[in-house]
Amino acid sequence: MVFVVAALAFAPAALADDSDPVLEVFRIQADVEKRLLTADLASLDRIQAQMRTAADRLMRLGDDLLRAQRDGEDVGSLNARSSDLRHAESEVEDLIAAAQQLRTSIVARRGYLEQVQIEIERMQEATPAVNDELTGRWNVAIEPGGLKGNFDLRLDGTIVTGVYQLSGGWKGSLRGTFIDNSVHLERIDTQQGFVATYDGRLVVRGGEKRLEGSWQATNLAAGLPGAGTWVGRRESKQ
């Protein structure tokens, strides 16, 4: 989802004055996914055409080799024909693999697009929150690793939705709940999917409201931390 990452990269700057940056970023994600879906479908159509041509060539070479074997051609000629046939078989196999990968991508894009569109409709129909404790941008610091960035959160009743950007190019969406000053968030990365959960409490430190808690990885990778702590400070409105 390279273009989704690009869209998220410029969205916060472009939407700095928007009253609801979370909703607008979801709209951008939906638009980008529609374009990517169109591009995937065009690529699949092209590969299907290439596969038909390659399959026809494969059948022709197979028929030619069988005929040559029946006619008693010399070994050198048969080996050359066999080599051409193996090359044609490899080409068809590569095209089949590419087509399968695109079909998987198309299904995943359609599913993701459907989820984004449902979320957009839900947010559009929801009554805007007024002066709640959570809605807005939070500057976050995550340890270990020293990750820094921001969570743009929106609260609707007890349901939390949002988007995030972190140092290192990590971007994606957030979903969860906020009940009795306790927040639970699931972090869905645009490249790696569901990667972590974040639990925390809204506390007051020196007159400043902060989110403090712990996180747990759900998509463990070798060499990367599997758990840690995080702190969020609300960004002041200009």
Question: Are 75 and 149 contained in the same domain?
Answer: no
Question: Are 113 and 144 contained in the same domain?
Answer: no
- Who has greater pLDDT, 175 or 224? 175
* pLDDT mean over 34-50: 94
Question: Are 110 and 161 contained in the same domain?
Answer: no
pLDDT over 70 percentage in the chain: 86
Is 195 within the bounds of a domain?
Answer: yes
* pLDDT mean over 78-90: 95
Question: Are 222 and 165 contained in the same domain?
Answer: yes
Is 181 within the bounds of a domain?
Answer: yes
Last residue of a domain, one of 83, 118, 153: 118
The closest alpha carbon to 185, from 194, 121, 193, 149, belongs to 194
Is 198 within the bounds of a domain?
Answer: yes
For residue 1, give the DSSP letter: -
Residue 176's SS3 state is strand
Structural domain including 199 reads: 136-234
Question: Are 163 and 197 contained in the same domain?
Answer: yes
Quote the pLDDT of residue 19: 52
pLDDT above 60 for 212:
yes
pLDDT, tens digit, for every residue of 60-72? 999 999 999 999 9
What CATH code is carried by the domain that includes residue 32? 1.10.287
pLDDT above 50 for 176:
yes
Is 113 within the bounds of a domain?
Answer: yes
Long-range contact pairs involving 144-151 (C-beta distance under 8 Å, separation at least 24): 144/225, 144/228, 145/225, 145/228, 150/12, 150/235, 151/185, 151/232
Euclidean distance between CA atoms 149 and 138, whole angstroms = 8
Q: What angle do CA 187, 190, 195 make, to 5 degrees?
A: 35
Question: Are 228 and 170 contained in the same domain?
Answer: yes
Question: Are 90 and 153 contained in the same domain?
Answer: no
Lowest mean pLDDT among 61-75, 88-102, 118-132, 153-167: 118-132
pLDDT band at 18 (very low <50, low <70, confident <90, very high): very low
Question: Are 170 and 227 contained in the same domain?
Answer: yes
Question: Are 141 and 175 contained in the same domain?
Answer: yes
Contacts of 85 (CB under 8 A, 6+ apart): 58, 61, 62, 65
pLDDT, tens digit, for every residue of 101-144? 999 999 988 988 888 888 888 777 765 555 688 988 999 999 99
Question: Are 114 and 21 contained in the same domain?
Answer: yes
Is 10 within the bounds of a domain?
Answer: no
Quick check: 183 and 160 in contact, CB under 8 A? yes
User: b or e along 92-113 (b: 16 or more beta carbons within 10 Å of the residue's beta carbon)?
Assistant: beebeebbeebeebbeebeebb
Quote the pLDDT of residue 9: 41
Last residue of a domain, one of 118, 153, 176: 118
Quote the pLDDT of residue 131: 62
Quote the pLDDT of residue 231: 96
Quote the pLDDT of residue 130: 53
What CATH code is carried by the domain that includes residue 193? 2.40.128.30
**Into how many domains does the chain fold?**
2
Quote the pLDDT of residue 237: 60
Q: What angle do CA 181, 151, 144 make, to 5 degrees?
A: 90
Quick check: 134 and 183 in contact, CB under 8 A? yes
Quote the pLDDT of residue 16: 39
Average pLDDT, the chain: 85
pLDDT band at 10 (very low <50, low <70, confident <90, very high): very low
Is 4 within the bounds of a domain?
Answer: no
Beta strands in the chain (DSSP E): 136-143, 147-156, 159-166, 170-179, 182-189, 193-205, 208-217, 227-234
Question: Are 97 and 155 contained in the same domain?
Answer: no
Question: Are 106 and 198 contained in the same domain?
Answer: no
Is 36 within the bounds of a domain?
Answer: yes
pLDDT, tens digit, for every residue of 189-207? 887 888 899 999 999 888 8
Quick check: 136 and 233 in contact, CB under 8 A? no
pTM > 0.75: no
C-alpha of 30 from chain center: 12
The closest alpha carbon to 202, from 161, 175, 233, 157, belongs to 233
Amino acid symbol at 188: I
Is 3 within the bounds of a domain?
Answer: no
